[in-house]
Amino acid sequence: MARSTTAAAGLVGVALVAVLALAGCVPSAPTPVPTETAAVPSSGPTSTAPAVPVLVEGGTAKENQPYFDKVNLEYFTANGTGSSKGIVDSLVTAGFRKQDIEVTPDRTSIDLQADSIVVSVRLKGECLIGDFQASGLKSIVAPLLGTGGCLIGKTLTIDW
């Protein structure tokens, strides 16, 4: 019987050592299980609509390009390429000075509708240039030419 008690004690000891050894492999706290939560809108800053472009009195061509584009796009949306006079009148009504504007003719030398009308506004030694075509409207800021103007070629005398 002494032999079976010693053997039993030995087995218990081995089992205890095994349990303690394996206990180090198991996390002491249960692993959390992910749960779904409802999305809650953040209370962070809200977005605001972009500012509506305005004429920057005394500003550069680059500063006024967004307003130039807005005015020309409104005209283009209502009239397509429209007319040279209509484009100039729209810009003047919007606050650009008539004496700073140049525009190409809306009719060719054989009295056909021109493929495009180019308009420019001189501002602080630079030029805002808009190109009206049936396919759309584009604009750039360019340096003033050596002539003091913005456009090359035939332009209209704006005397209306």
Condensed to tens digits (0 to 9), the pLDDT of residues 51-108 reads 999 999 999 999 999 999 999 999 999 999 999 999 999 999 999 999 999 999 999 9
Q: Where are the domains of the chain?
A: 61-143
Both tokens assigned to 47: 């977005």
Q: In a 10 Å sphere around its CB, with 0-12 CB exposed, 13-18 middle and 19+ buried, how is residue 68 labelled?
A: buried
Residue 138's pLDDT is what?
98
**pTM, entire model:** 0.70
* Amino acid type, 100: D
Tokens encoding 67 = 């307003």
Helix (H) or strand (E) holding 118: strand 116-123
Question: Mind listing the pLDDT tens digit for each residue in 93-136?
Answer: 999 999 999 999 999 999 999 999 999 999 999 999 999 999 99
Is pLDDT larger for residue 75 or for residue 3?
75
Q: What is the sign, positive or negative, of the torsion defined by CA atoms of 82, 105, 128, 88? A: negative
Q: Are strands 126-133 and 136-143 parallel, antiparallel or unpaired?
A: antiparallel
